[in-house]
Structure 1
Amino acid sequence: MATSCISFVSLYGSFLRRSLALSGLSSQSVGVDAYTTIHFWGPKRLPASARSPSSNGEHRKPSLVLIHGFGPHGVWQWRQQVSFLAPYFDVYVPDLVFFGESTTKSSERSEIFQASAVGKMMEKVGVSKYSVVGTSYGGFVAYRVAEMWPERVEKVVIASSGVNMRPRDNHELLKRANVEKIDELMLPETAAQLRTLFRLAVSNRVYMPDFFLNDFIDKLYGENRKEKLELLKGLVLGQHDTPNISPLQQEVLLIWGDQDNIFLLDMAKELKEMLGKNASLEVIKKASHAPQLENAKSFNKILYNFLCDST
């Protein structure tokens, strides 16, 4: 049938790219070292010159890095935030290594490696000060970026990201998903497995036919599957019964959905205490693991208020 030749995922991907372009971002790539190339969406103008005061005394906008989670890469997870924030910030949306067009020949697979690549990317484009926002797996990376470069990172937002997880939290997640291995949940290969992920990650679910879900898997989950599984196994955070979480020097905001079934809300409350006096928590009601998609209006307002407070 003719409809079998239509990829709705590809069509929507084109819409997302046009949306980012209309927000003033362009698709770019930079080699961060001899082994690794990072693709990102960022300001069209040259960042180094743009950071200098203009002739009329105005200064450029503050810089903001949006770090995506596991699954679809950045443009899929942050489109609504880019559209809202681009008038106020120079927004950078990198693809983490093995997502989208970012690649490496390195054998490193930890979130520390991902954070190093993001930090080096910002060095290469000439940005010395920026805030970071990370969701889910991207929250692990954002935490590491802030930890590694406290002199560069101004504010930190960790959304729906249990960086304080323990092995038992992972086991409990597998029970909730009714699967035996984490890749069955995070790297779905069948429509049934993707439905399980949506059941845990999204509070307002709509029925999607198998052909649509299979298209989603083929276009967004099929790439670099072996390497992505290595990324899951390569996480340093979450390997010990006592979380190795230290307070950050920066102001930190945690944003969570009250119905998150990937990282439960209790984890957010514990993480706030671990991060110390500079950390605060905002809970979005009737949202699950992707509040930036499910309730973008509330998420954007919370994010904007935090980033612009005393900035």
Structure 2
Amino acid sequence: MSKCFSFTASRDWFYRYWFAKSGLRSVSTSLGDGTVMQCWVPKIRKPSKPNLVLVHGFGANAMWQYAEALHHFTPRFNVYVPDLIFFGRSYTSRPDRTESFQARCLMRLMDLQGVNRMCMVGISYGGFVAYSMAVQYPQALDRLVLCCTGVCLEEKDLKEGLFPVKSLEEAKLVLMPQTPDKLRELMRVSFVRPATGVPSFFLTDFIKVMCSEYVEEKGELIQEILKDRNLSSLPKIRQPTLLVWGEQDQIFPLELGHRLKRHIGDSAELVVIKNAGHAVNLEKPKEFIKHLKLFLL
């Protein structure tokens, strides 16, 4: 069975069908300098609608992370769902691995789509990029949602035991699993109630389809977000911001949510979802979407 059928590829095909049925089309855009970004964009963009950009984190591609939310927002927004650099079909030949570079690429992509003002949702690593967008292009972002985004972490947090992993190398092995056991470990730290009893051939299939490309480059992205990071050097943002956190997040613990709320100040609101971990958008999708709709609409 495992040799003739790929559950992951089939699921990916279904999500492509669902995105197309929801009024989006996939486009590939060259940004110059050897950089290409893939993005789901509206088949028909309506100037009367506000724009909403949904930015994914590590793990499966953007479609898997936002499929549940899509139909809630396409009637009211022009929705854009990009693949960040080294995810999906986006890549660059440039050596820059910072989230500020990702943000510049994303802003360039939006400019080429004729989008100069937008609301943005960023999940985990996508929130690092969204935060950098808010810093670099404050006039472009109207509202910002950061979901389980440890943007205020400090390099010393790793040494002081805030995270379940003890080193950068261990973090890479968990966040970019290359074996069924490491994928199971990622599931354990991402969900309060992870799926159990999943056959190894299903996990191997997922790794082959979703986790086998740009492994070294993604490791460099992880290394960059931890490098020389201090809260005192993190710029403050002024856009109305919603922080959504899983109460039992093990990857970016809730302490980082409270820390970020204090750092941003009165323009930020923190919502904590109970019985949820880091993958709160997948574990508690109805609650996640409810809070997004209340804030964005």
TM-score, normalising length: structure 1:
0.90
Task: Assess, with a 3 A threshold, how the Cα gap between structure 1 residues 174 and 164 changes in structure 2: closer, same or farther.
Answer: closer
Structure 1 residue aligned with 2:52, among 64, 79, 85? 64
Q: Which runs of 5+ in 1 are unaligned?
A: 52-58
Q: Are 1:156 and 2:144 an aligned pair?
A: yes
SS in 1 for 2:3: helix
Determine if the alignment matches structure 1 residue 144 to structure 2 residue 132. Answer: yes
State the shift of 1:219 in Å. Answer: 0.8
Distance 2:164 2:286 in 1: 29
Q: Is the 8 A contact 1:28 1:39 kept in 2?
A: yes
Does 2:6 align with 1:16?
no
Structure 2 counterpart of 1:187: 176
Shift of 1:277: 1.3
Alignment match of 1:218 (pick from 208, 211, 216):
208
1:245-264 equivalences under 5 Å are: 245-264=234-253
- CA displacement at 1:177 relative to structure 2: 4.3
1:266-305 equivalent positions in 2, closer than 5 A: 266-305=255-294
Secondary structure of 2:204 counterpart: helix
Deviation of 1:174 after TM superposition, in Å, equals 8.7
Distance 1:3 1:182, change over 3 A: closer
Deviations 1:21-59 (A, max 9, x none): 1111111111123321110111012x4xx32xxxxxxx2
Distance in structure 2 (CA, Å) of the matches to 1:241 and 1:122: 30
In the alignment, structure 1 residue 91 sits paired with structure 2 residue 51:
no
Please identify, of 110-119 and 178-187, the stretch whose mean Cα deviation from structure 2 is larger. Answer: 178-187
Instruction: Give the match for residue 34 of structure 1.
Output: 33
In structure 2, distance between residues paired with 1:307 and 1:276: 19
Unaligned runs of 5+ in 2: none
Partner of 2:102: 114
Determine if the alignment matches structure 1 residue 168 to structure 2 residue 167.
Answer: no
Residue in 1 that maps onto 2:123: 135
* Separation in 2, partners of 1:62, 1:303: 15
What's the CA shift for 1:239?
2.5
Aligned residue identity for 2:96: E
User: Relative to structure 1, is the Cα distance of residues 175 and 275 closer, same or farther in structure 2, using a 3 angstrom cutoff?
Assistant: closer
Aligned CA RMSD, in angstroms, stands at 1.7
Are the structure 2 counterparts of residues 194 and 186 from structure 1 closer, same or farther at C-alpha, using a change threshold of 3 Å?
A: same
Question: Could you report, residue by residue, the CA deviation over 1:171-214 in whole angstroms, capped at 9, with x for unpaired residues?
Answer: 46696247752211111111111111110001121221111111
How many residues are matched?
Answer: 295
Q: Is the 8 A contact 2:135 2:237 kept in 1?
A: yes
Structure 2 contact 157–163 (Cα < 8 Å) conserved: no
Instruction: Out of 81-90 and 135-144, give the one that drifted further.
Output: 81-90
Q: How far apart, in 1, do the equivalents of 2:232 and 2:89 lie?
A: 32
Q: Which amino acid aligns with 1:190?
A: T
Cα separation, partners in 2 of 1:42 and 1:159, compared to 1, 3 Å: same
Counterparts in 2 of 1:37 and 1:265: CA distance versus 1, 3 Å: same
**Deviations for 1:245-277, whole angstroms, at most 9, x for unmatched residues?**
232121011000111111111110111010111
Q: Give aligned-pair identity as a percent.
A: 39
Q: In structure 2, what is the equivalent of residue 55 of structure 1?
A: none
Pick closer, same or farther for the CA change 1:195–1:243 going to 2, 3 Å: farther
Task: Answer whether contact 1:69 1:135 (CA < 8 A) is retained.
Answer: yes
Using structure 2 for the length normalisation, give the TM-score. 0.94
Q: Which residue pairs with 1:244 in the alignment? A: 233
CA contact (8 A) 2:159 2:166 kept: no
Partners of 2:60 and 2:112 in 1: CA distance: 25
Q: How has the CA–CA distance of structure 1 residues 128 and 178 changed in structure 2, closer, same or farther, with 3 Å as cutoff?
A: closer
**Quick one: distance in 2 between partners of 1:269 and 1:234?**
23
Give the distance between the partners of 1:11 and 1:211, measured in 2 at CA. Answer: 15
The Cα shift of 1:88 comes to: 1.3
